[in-house]
Chains A and B, each alone.
Chain A
């Protein structure tokens, strides 16, 4: 939906091509684009203004690098600055000398506190700790029930009582000491930052358990309001960090930047999926690329690693490049790609993909049709499509509910692809041979397993 910042820059700089130096007007125009890009990523306006001011200072004072075009240079400065803000200091959890280490979660309604509490508990368990979850959200119907179920999934026990949230938190702390749990995670009810009574309540909960870490849970889709919310919670609770949720969507997550800038506390964790294990410490560098709408190769690779087996991947890649691709392999690739999410998103994450490809609309039903055709082939036909004659084609067409000309089209296209891949593979190998003298096979496998 949004043009990425690099696309916009390209447009500006195509006009400026050939100039060695940027005039003030040029810089201003570029800065305007940066401003719009940041605003579209939901970075708060006041934060954007300050940010753009800093970029301007650097752009004006910067030495023009010989190797980078002005566009690349500006992007580099912006990227660097974003990273600086987002990742000044990464949060390291230090455990209390007198356990339990108490973690308090607070935030607006629906930001994902309860789910985050369970994910955090699971994370602590993976660190070899023994957490206890506390259900202090007595407000939302069935919130404690939800925490109980999630706690069960994470194999962490849940403590709650039908009293009031402050008493529950205090009792939980005593309970944790009694049964010897070393981490206490307190889930609180969602509250608006302007609700004085509820803010007072959460302050009292905080007072009752004196948390070592107080995290504000923020939805990655939050807009301009993130700043006000964060400020209000910070002034009530003295936050230690922020947990960003729902980062698996396509929101740019500019709220992360706003909050970091305003509160000055790091983004400690990010939640990137619905499963309990989709949760980890936060990577500021990736967030910078994401806010700018640039390719997110690291995330892509991580996603790929989840669905591809490294050895198999190396094997398939070799096969592809040698043009020995079969329909069986193709089917596998399609399945793996499907698991990685919508094709459009994957393409979006690839850096340097031409616009034409980015704008291709692929209907899921069309992909399904191809799958149906391939599945209607016998293993022998998938292995060697050249055996497919007229009657086999008719059978395949009937089996998959398409016309035989469509089967034909796929076969033809597939042959073309094989040829193209061979071309690709040839080039890639030549390049590799030039780049380093190591033997090809060994290197590829080593990289793949190491990735």
Chain B
């Protein structure tokens, strides 16, 4: 035990020391050259394992049809589409907002602004996963406003807080970019189990309903049956799907998808990636490579969407930072907001890192993935 520890310490010291010695005067631009070649491989030889599965290919899915997953969802899928074109935050957050709104109600019922009022607001924000740091900033800003604007009643205070929160969210560019003429690639990244594949399915549905079919790239070659999951989605929404072999090279899948999209005249490739924890160096390197490959002609990465589960706590901030540094995240998709979680971490991410929330998942069906509207979101949160 001791030996190992000593060894690690020494090795760390050695490494830190020599990196320090070497890196002086070096610029990042000149990277170790041998890191690059792998990215070139798909260009030279598109891997035979990556096979387009546009037409129904029953053989791939369930050789042994003791079950099928199809019937579970299409039925509810179709229904709300007719009745309710776009779910509103207020309806879907309904069950979740009670706690936050409860605090606000309690603040409103007070006759004056006192220490307890501030405590309650703090608790409300922390319980919504906004985080201690961001909460303190928000409330400090509010305190300053109370002084400068002469806010006296709790009612005015709540109105001011609401305005602050909306204000903090309002000037971001939340549009999803599609560049005309190019083969756009939207990369979906995130840790395991946040809902990347499902989100792609829903985005795909949205586009195909607008009459703009997309190509889906099943570049999650790691998780068992991830490609099958996306394939079922692609059939449901009538999208083209390119998949590779399990354990294959995700870069190759994306490359093939871009080529195929180009050939078929599709302007958008939705690329699924395997969930990965941001602490895994190799996996983050792999993701960087996928992005590099996606940028190859004629591909153009116009969105890198970080999918975050609304139940995520303070670790979400670290995730956003790490993924941002690795693949330059352009927006956040906040999923599973229809549960009891409030997704306050997305607020912290947008505030601290400037990555805008672009899409929000409010339910199971494809129509429940909606554009993020700060006004509506905050309003829904506050209403009792």
Contact = CB atoms under 8 A, between A and B. Distances in A.
Interface residues of B, number: 96
B273 to A, nearest CB: 14
B7 A141 contact: no
A337 B8 contact: yes
B224 A300 contact: no
A264 interface: no
Interface stretch (B40-48, B148-156, B274-282, B297-305): B274-282
B241 to A, nearest CB: 13
A308 B281 CA distance: 19
B352 to A, nearest CB: 10
B83 interface: no
B18 A414 contact: yes
B338 to A, nearest CB: 7
Contact of A369 (B5, B32, B193): B32
A308 B7 contact: yes
B15 to A, nearest CB: 6
A367 B6 contact: no
A238 to B, nearest CB: 20
A249 to B, nearest CB: 4
Contacts, number: 309
Interface string A45-84: 1000000000000000000000000000000000000000
B4 interface: yes
A370 B22 contact: yes
A316 B8 CA distance: 11
Interface in A360-378: 360, 362-373
Contacts of A45: 123, 126-127
- Of A225, A338, A412, A416, chain B has the most CB atoms within 10 Å of the CB of A225
Interface string B293-322: 000000000000000011111111111010
Contact of B4 (A44, A146, A304, A372): A304
A362 to B, nearest CB: 5
A362 B16 contact: yes
A401 B33 contact: yes
A347 B14 CA distance: 13
A278 B20 CA distance: 34
Contacts of A148: 224-225
A71 to B, nearest CB: 21
B129 A224 contact: yes
A135 B19 contact: no
A192 B339 contact: yes
Interface in A196-220: 219
B101 to A, nearest CB: 15
Interface in A126-184: 135, 138-150, 153, 160-162
B21 interface: yes
Contacts of A141: 69-70, 73, 201, 228-229, 232-233
A140 B11 contact: no
Contact of A448 (B4, B28, B31, B66): B4
A326 B363 CA distance: 59
B78 interface: no
A274 B276 CA distance: 9
B15 A343 contact: yes
B26 interface: yes
Interface string A346-370: 1100100000010010111111111
Nearest to A219: B193
Interface string B336-368: 101111101100000000000000000000000
A416 B193 contact: no
B14 A330 contact: yes
Contacts of A321: 6
Contacts of A142: 69, 225-226, 228-229, 231-232
Contacts of B6: 317, 320-321, 428
B311 A162 contact: no
A363 B23 contact: yes
B19 A424 contact: no
B302 to A, nearest CB: 26
Contacts of A246: 191-193, 277
Which 5 A-B pairs give the minimum distances between C-beta atoms?
A223-B313, A110-B193, A42-B313, A149-B224, A146-B225
Given A142-B226, A409-B24, A414-B18, 4 more contacts: A45-B127, A142-B231, A144-B67, A162-B66
